[in-house]
């Protein structure tokens, strides 16, 4: 029932192995004869107990990697939330002294700025909550099967959305300021604003793909065969 511990250096992330191993073990249990699941070996240990004992070190490494990834990503999400919260009260062009209404309220670009800022604030806040949930998790063996990887996926995806919408809001600001002259300035800024988005997507996509594959990919191996091993 137990399987050899795999080398973490063969995986791009420590979490890929720590989430895949318990998942494989659970899928194998589903196609085994029920009496074998609780059957003890010569040392009086069940397959589950042997599996947990042999993979204790892997769980510890997965926990360390998960905490490190969540804490660093949480810093970025917090910075974005702080910036976008401040931007909500300091609109481009300021407000009318008499009415307090934003000066650029009739511009379509201003609406894009406000919507983008709101999305960035909401998604970055969601990302913070996901990473906070990871940091405060129990890190039990079963948590690595789906709970922790799912939270990490949601955290990374919402962080990407917040970065994208923040850059959109940033670029739109220049279209408001340079509305009728030097049109090339906002266009150039908008193009440069795409650089952080592309970099984040390029650097983080392998991580997200590995987490998805290690969490849900293994199930495809067991779906075609629903029969038991007896």
Please give the Cα distance from 202 to 149 (Å, whole number).
Answer: 20
**Cα–Cα distance, 198 to 2 (Å, whole number):** 42
Q: 162 versus 18: which is more confidently predicted?
A: 162
pLDDT in tens, 28-73: 555 555 555 566 556 666 655 555 666 567 777 878 888 999 999 9
Sequence-distant (≥ 6) Cβ neighbours of residue 75 within 8 angstroms:
none
CB 16 within 8 A of CB 210: yes
Measured distance CA(190)–CA(109) in Å, rounded: 13
- Total count of domains within the chain: 1
In a domain, 2, yes or no: no
What's the mean per-residue pLDDT of the chain?
Answer: 76
Inside any domain, residue 52: yes
Residue 102 bridge partners (DSSP) = 95
The per-residue pLDDT for 62 is 79
DSSP 143: G
Section 74-81 average pLDDT? 95
- Is 87 a domain residue? yes
- Does 111 map to a domain? yes
Domain span at residue 33 reads: 8-222
1 within domain boundaries: no
Do the domain assignments include residue 142? yes
Alpha carbon 58 to its chain centroid, in Å, reads 21
The Cα–Cα gap between 105 and 156 comes to 33
Higher pLDDT, 42 or 82: 82
pLDDT one-digit tens code per residue, 102-118: 666 667 778 888 899 99
Question: Which band of pLDDT confidence, cut at 50, 70 and 90, is reported for residue 8?
Answer: very low
What sections of 93-146 are H helices per DSSP? 108-135
Tell me if 230 is assigned to some domain: no
Q: What's the token pair of residue 96?
A: 């009318």
Helices (H), the chain: 14-30, 34-37, 47-54, 56-87, 108-135, 147-177, 184-212, 219-222
CA distance 104 to 93: 7
Task: Tell me, yes or no, whether 171 lies in a domain.
Answer: yes
The predicted pLDDT at position 184 comes to: 84
């Amino acid at each position: 029932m137990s399987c050899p511990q795999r080398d973490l250096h063969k995986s791009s992330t420590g979490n890929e192995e720590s989430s895949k191993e318990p998942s494989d073990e659970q899928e194998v249990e589903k196609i085994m004869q029920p009496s074998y699941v609780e059957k003890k070996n010569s040392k009086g240990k069940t397959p589950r107990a042997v599996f947990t004992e042999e993979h204790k070190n892997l769980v510890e490494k997965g926990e360390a990697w998960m905490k490190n990834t969540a804490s660093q990503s949480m810093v970025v999400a917090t910075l974005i939330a702080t910036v976008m919260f401040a931007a909500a009260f300091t609109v481009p062009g300021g407000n009318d002294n008499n009415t307090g209404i934003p000066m650029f309220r009739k511009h379509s670009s201003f609406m894009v700025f406000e919507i983008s800022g709101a999305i960035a604030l909401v998604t970055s806040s969601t990302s913070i909550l996901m990473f906070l949930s990871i940091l405060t998790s129990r890190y039990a063996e079963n948590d690595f099967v789906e709970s922790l990887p799912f939270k990490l996926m949601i955290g990374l995806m919402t962080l990407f959305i917040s970065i994208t919408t923040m850059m959109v809001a940033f670029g739109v600001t220049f279209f408001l300021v340079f509305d009728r002259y030097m049109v090339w300035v906002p266009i150039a800024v908008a193009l440069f604003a795409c650089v952080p988005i592309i970099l984040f997507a390029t650097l983080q996509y392998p991580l997200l793909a590995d987490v998805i594959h290690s969490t849900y990919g293994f199930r495809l191996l067991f779906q075609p065969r629903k029969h038991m091993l007896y």
